[in-house]
Amino acid sequence: MLKFRKKSFLLKNNFFNLNYKSLLLLINLFLLLIFSAQNCLNNENSGFSENQYRIIDIFPHDNTAFTQGLVWKGNYFYESTGLYGRSSLRKVEIQTGNVLQKYDLPNDYFGEGITIFKDSIYQLTWKEQTGFIYDQETFQLIDTFSYSYEGWGITHDGKHLIISDGSPVLHFVDPCTMEEVKQVTVYFQKTPVRFINELEYIKGKIFANIWQTKQIAIINTDSGEVTNWLDLGGILDNIEINSSQDIDVLNGIAYDEDKGYLFVTGKFWPNIFQIKIMDNFVQ
Ligand SMILES: [Ca+2]
C-alpha cells in the first residue's frame, strides 16, 4: 500500500514535472518565435518609410532654384531650373550645393527637363518648343532642336530620348535625327496619368514626378503601366524649414547607378535627399 502510494506520488510528481517542463519549453518556444519574428521584421523594415525607401543622407540645395530637371553623373549634379528670366543649366557640388558651372538661358526661355546622352546635355524648354544641346564639359551650346508639344521632363534609355509633355504621353525620340519613333501612354488601373513631369530611367523602368503630387510613378517602359507609386509625402518632415521659405512641389529625380541610390528634391527645396528604395518595392 505504501509502495503503491509512493508509486502514485512519484507518478503524480513525474506528471507534474513533465507538464511543468513542457510548459516552460512551450513558453520558451513561444518567446523565441516572437523574438525571431520581431527581429525579422526589424531587419526587413528597419528605417524604411512605409516599407518603400530609407534616407541615406541629406545634402544642401539652392532654395532659389526652381528645379525642373536633375541628373547625377561623375559625382556631380546637373540641374535645369525654370521660370522666365531665371532659367539655367547648372553643374552642382553635392556636399556644399555650390553651383560650379552655370549657363543662363535667354529671358524668353523657360527651362525644363535635362538628360545627358553621350556627353551631351539635352535641355527642354516649356512652351518655346525648342530644346538645347550642350557639351557636357564646357556647357557650350552645340545645337538646338524643336518639337510640337510642351517640354516637361526628359531622360533616355540608351537608345531613345524619352520626353514628357504634361499629358499622359511619353515621346520616344531618336537622338540622332530627333525624329519621334513611338509614343507610350502612361496609365494606372486603366486610367491615363496626366501631368507627368521630371523623369529618370532606372534599370528598365521610368521614374516620373507627377506635377503637384508627392508621389513618383514607376512606369513600365513598354506598356506605360504604372506598376508602383513611391510616396515621398513625409520626406520634408526630416528637415527644418524656415516658415518664410517658399517651398514648391516635389520635382527632380537623379540616379546613382554605382551605389544604387536615388536623389530627390523639389522646386525651391533647401535640400536634396539621397534615398535607397527597398529592393522588393520596384516590381
Ligand atoms: Ca532626372
Which tens digits make up the pLDDT trace of 168-198?
A: 999 999 999 999 999 999 999 999 999 999 9
Q: How far apart are alpha carbons 275 and 47 in whole angstroms?
A: 11
The predicted model gives 76-88 an average pLDDT of: 98
Is the model's pLDDT at 23 over the cut of 80? no
User: Measured in angstroms, how far is the CA atom of residue 5 from the centroid of ligand 1?
Assistant: 86
> Given pLDDT bands bounded at 50, 70 and 90, which one contains residue 242?
confident
Task: Give the E-state strand segments of 191-270 in sequence order.
Answer: 191-192, 196-202, 205-210, 215-220, 226-231, 250-256, 261-266
The lowest-confidence range among 23-32, 75-84, 100-109, 219-228 is 23-32
**Please, what is the average pLDDT of the chain?**
87
The predicted model gives 228-235 an average pLDDT of: 93
Q: What is the DSSP letter of 109?
A: -
User: Measured in angstroms, how far is the CA atom of residue 164 from the centroid of ligand 1?
Assistant: 12
The predicted model gives 115-138 an average pLDDT of: 98
- Is 145:161 a contact under the CB 8 Å cutoff? no
Q: What is the structure's pLDDT at 280?
A: 79
User: Measured in angstroms, how far is the CA atom of residue 27 from the centroid of ligand 1?
Assistant: 54
> Given pLDDT bands bounded at 50, 70 and 90, which one contains residue 47?
low
User: Measured in angstroms, how far is the CA atom of residue 67 from the centroid of ligand 1?
Assistant: 10
User: Measured in angstroms, how far is the CA atom of residue 188 from the centroid of ligand 1?
Assistant: 21
At residue 69, the 3 state secondary structure works out as: strand
User: Measured in angstroms, how far is the CA atom of residue 51 from the centroid of ligand 1?
Assistant: 23
User: Measured in angstroms, how far is the CA atom of residue 239 from the centroid of ligand 1?
Assistant: 23
User: Measured in angstroms, how far is the CA atom of residue 70 from the centroid of ligand 1?
Assistant: 4
User: 151 or 50, which is more confident?
Assistant: 151
Rg (CA), the chain: 28
User: Measured in angstroms, how far is the CA atom of residue 76 from the centroid of ligand 1?
Assistant: 13
The predicted model gives 143-149 an average pLDDT of: 97
Is the model's pLDDT at 235 over the cut of 70? yes
On the 0-12 / 13-18 / 19+ scale of CB atoms within 10 A, 82 is buried
User: Measured in angstroms, how far is the CA atom of residue 122 from the centroid of ligand 1?
Assistant: 11
